[in-house]
């Protein structure tokens, strides 16, 4: 498996994007929560949102790994 075939956040095979199934679901969850947060509390930038959720104790490992990759993008 080449590097392009691997998830950007782990060693697993990626899907039709840069993430494996688990990290792709984590990214979708982040996007869904960003929309909900913006709707409830007003617009928040993507980088600020990523920072805020990365600081929350409740944020899971896969989400944290996606945040690390997204911050570099």
Q: What is the pLDDT of residue 14?
A: 92
Residues 1-17 have a mean pLDDT of 84
For the chain, which residues make up each domain, given as ranges? 21-72
Q: How confident is the model at residue 39 (pLDDT cuts 50, 70, 90)?
A: very high
Q: Is 3 left (phi over 0), alpha (psi -120 to 50) or beta?
A: alpha
Would the pLDDT of 48 be above 90? Answer: yes
* Residue 1 pLDDT > 60: no
Exposed/middle/buried for residue 70 (C-beta within 10 Å: 0-12, 13-18, 19+): middle
pTM here is 0.87
């Amino acid at each position: 498996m080449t590097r392009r075939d691997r998830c950007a956040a782990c060693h697993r095979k990626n899907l039709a994007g840069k993430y494996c199934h688990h990290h792709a679901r984590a990214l979708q969850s982040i996007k869904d929560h960003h929309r909900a947060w913006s709707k409830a509390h007003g617009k928040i930038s993507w980088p600020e949102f990523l920072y805020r959720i990365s600081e929350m104790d409740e944020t899971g490992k896969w989400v944290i790994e996606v945040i690390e990759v997204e911050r570099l993008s």
